[in-house]
Chains A and B, each alone.
Chain A
Amino acid sequence: MNPIMASAPALFTIRSVDYRAISPVLIILAVALVSVFVEAFVGRSARRPVQLVLVFGAFLATFIDLITLHATRLVTAAGSVAVDGPALVMQGAIILLAALAAMLMAERMVDPSGDPFAARASSLPGSVDEAEFSARGYFQTEVWPLLLFSVAGMMLFVSANDLLLMFVALEVMSLPIYLMAGMARRRRLLSQEASLKYFLLGAFASAFFLYGMALTFGFAGSVNLGSIADAVSAKPSQSGLLLLAVAMLSIGLLFKVAAVPFHQWTPDAYQGAPTAVTALMATTVKIAAFGALMRVLYVAFGGIRWDWTPMLWIVAILTMVVGSVIAVTQSDIKRMLAYSSVAQAGFILVGVIAVSGKGLASVLFYVIAYGFATIGAFAVVSVVRDASGEATHLSKWAGLGKKSPVTGAVLSLLMLSFAGIPLTSGFIGKFAVFSAAIANGATWLVIVAVIASVVSAFFYARVIVLMFFSEPTEATASVVVPSAFTTIVIAAGATVTVVVGIAPQPLLDLVNNAGLFLR
C-alpha cells in the first residue's frame, strides 16, 4: 500500500444507514427510475397504462410502508435524515395528496383533445407542428417520472436534518414542477410564462438559501441541524452573522410557502400552470415547505427564537393582510385561489410562530385540512369549461350553482372551509392554530389574523353568491362530466373537509401523537 495513504488518518468513516426507515423515499425513487426506463423502452401506446400502474402502485406501496413505520423515531445516515413523527405524518399527507393530484393529471374526459398536458411540449405554441401533433393524438408520458421525482424530493425535504440534504431535496422537488408548470395543453404561452417565472424566481430563492447555509456553516462549523443548535446554545452572544443566516435560510423557505413579500410568483404560476399541476403546487409543496421551515427554525435555531420571531411576525401579518386584500380584487378564479393560498400561508405562519409542540401539531392539522380542501377546489375548477378550455374568469361562473347544483354546492362547501366556517375542517384548523398562538402569548397576532380571515371570508362568499344568487346567461360555463379520476378527487376533498370538520378527533390525535422533531 502507498505509505502516504497508510499514514493518513481515515478519510471516510462508513456510517450506517437505516434503509428500513428511509424506505418510503427509496421506493418512490426506485419506481421513478423504472418509470424513466419505461419511457425509453416501452412502445408509445402501452406507456400510459404502464406508467399509471407504476405511479399509483408506488404511492400505494409507500403509504402502506409509512403505516408500518408509524412508530419509528430515529435519526439515520450520519444524522442527515430524521425519521420522526412530524416527518412521517407529512410524508403520508404528501403521498395521499400527490395521488389525488396524479388522478387530476391522468384525467382525459374533461378535455376533448386529451389529458391536461401538451401533445409535445417542445412544439412552438400556435405552430403547424403543434396542430399536427394534436391531430395525431400524441400525448406525453414524461410527466409521470417527473411527478415521482418531485414527490421523492418532497418526502426527503420534510425529513432532512441537514441543510445540505435539505437543499438537494428542495431542488429535486422543485425542478420537475418548474417543467410540469410549462406543459399545459391549452393557453400554452401563459403556461410557459408561468414556468419561466417560477423557475427564475425559484432559482433566486435557492441562492438565498445557499448563502444562508454558507453563513450558518461559518457560524456553527456544520450543516447538521443538531450541531447548529449546539453551536447556537454554546455561543449565546448576539451574532449578526447568525441572524443574517437565519434570515436568508428563511427567505429561501418562505418563497416556497408563498409568504409576502416572496409571493410574487404565486398568482402567475398558479394561473398559468395546468390545473392538475397547480393542485400539486398548492398542496404538497406547501406541506413540504412548511415542514422544512419549521424543522430549520425549531431544531437548529430554537435557541434564538426571540431573535427570529419578530421577523416572522412581520411576514405573517403582511402575508395575511396582503393575501386577503388583493384576493378581493381578483376576477380569475385561479388567481383568486392563488392569493387565497398566500393568505392561508399567513394563517399557518401564526401557528409556526407559536414555537411549541402545540404549534407544530396545529400546523400539521392545518396543512392537511387545507390540502384536501384545495385539491378539491382545483378539481372543481378543472371541470368548469367552455369552448376555449377551462372557464377561469369569474364572470363565467355567474349562475353556475343553478345550472349545476352539485358542483356549486361542493365548491361552496370548500370555500366555507377556506373561510373557516364551523363544521368544516378549515374552522378546526384555524381554531387550533390561533389557540396555539394565544397560548404562547401572540394575542395581537391572532387579533390581526381574525380580522384578515373576516376579509378573506368576503371573497370566498362572493364566489358562492355569484354561483347561486345570479341567473345563468349564455356566457355561463358548463360543468363537464369527468371520468372516475376527477370524481374521486372532488369526492375526497369534500368528504375530508366535512368529516374532519364534524369529527376532528382522529386527525387531532394523529398530529398530537406525532410528537416533536428529533435532532
Chain B
Amino acid sequence: MNVYTPILILGILAFGFAAFSVLTASLTGPKRYNRAKVDAYECGIDPTPQPEGGGRFPVKYYLTAMLFIVFDIEIVFLYPWAVAFDRLAFFGFCEMVVFIITVLVVYAYVWRRRGLEWD
C-alpha cells in the first residue's frame, strides 16, 4: 500500500489544483459574454458559417486538415524506414519510392485542382 501513497497524493494534488483553478477563475474573472465568446475554441471564427436556409459553406479548413493527414502519414512511414534503412536494403528503398510516388500522385491532383490555393 505504502508504495502507492505518493501516486494517491499526486492524484489528489492534481485534482485539487484543477478544481481550485476553475473555481478561482469563475469567482474572480471578469464576465463579458458575447457571441464570439461562446464559439468553439473562442477564436472568433465561425467554423461552419451557414447562410440562412442552408447553402454552401467554405471547407478550406477541412481541406487543409485532410492534406495535412496525407503528408503526415507519409512522414510516419518515412521515419521507421530511415531508422532501418541499411537493413531494408535495396528492397526497402524500392518500396519507399513506390510509396512516395503514390503520395506524389495525390499531391499532383490536389495541386492541379487548386486544392493548395486559399482563395
Chain A: CB-nearest residue to B81? A12
Q: A124-B55, A124-B56 are in contact. Are A37 and B88 (CB under 8 A)?
A: no
Chain A residues, CB < 8 A from B106 = 36
Q: A33-B102, A33-B105, A41-B112 are in contact. Are A11 and B84 (CB under 8 A)?
A: yes
Q: Which of B54, B92, B101, B112 contacts A14 (CB 8 A)?
A: B92
Chain A residues, CB < 8 A from B88 = 12, 14
Query: Which bracket fits the contact residues of B?
Result: 10 to 19
Cα-based distance from A40 to B107 in the complex (angstroms)? 10
Question: A234 near B: Cβ within 8 Å?
Answer: no
Contact A14 B109 (CB under 8 A): no
**CB interface residues, B 76-117, toward A, < 8 Å:** 84, 86-89, 91-92, 101-102, 105-106, 108-109, 111-113
Interface residues of B (CB under 8 A from A): 54-56, 84, 86-89, 91-92, 101-102, 105-106, 108-109, 111-113
What string of 1s and 0s marks CB contacts (under 8 Å) between A31-52 and chain B? 0010011011100000000000
Cα-based distance from A12 to B56 in the complex (angstroms)? 49
Cα-based distance from A511 to B86 in the complex (angstroms)? 46
Question: A10 near B: Cβ within 8 Å?
Answer: yes
Interface size of A by Cβ–Cβ distance < 8 Å? 14
Chain A residues, CB < 8 A from B86 = 1
Contact A41 B55 (CB under 8 A): no
Distance in Å: Cβ of B82 to nearest Cβ of chain A: 13
Contact A40 B113 (CB under 8 A): yes
Contact A40 B87 (CB under 8 A): no
Chain A residues, CB < 8 A from B87 = 10-12
- The 8 A-B pairs with the shortest beta carbon distances in the complex, nearest first, are A40-B112, A40-B109, A40-B108, A33-B105, A36-B105, A14-B91, A36-B109, A11-B84
Q: Which of B54, B101, B105 contacts A124 (CB 8 A)?
A: B54
Distance in Å: Cβ of B71 to nearest Cβ of chain A: 16
Chain B CB within 10 A, most for which of A14, A41, A124: A14
Chain A CB within 10 A, most for which of B102, B109, B112: B109
Chain B: CB-nearest residue to A145? B109
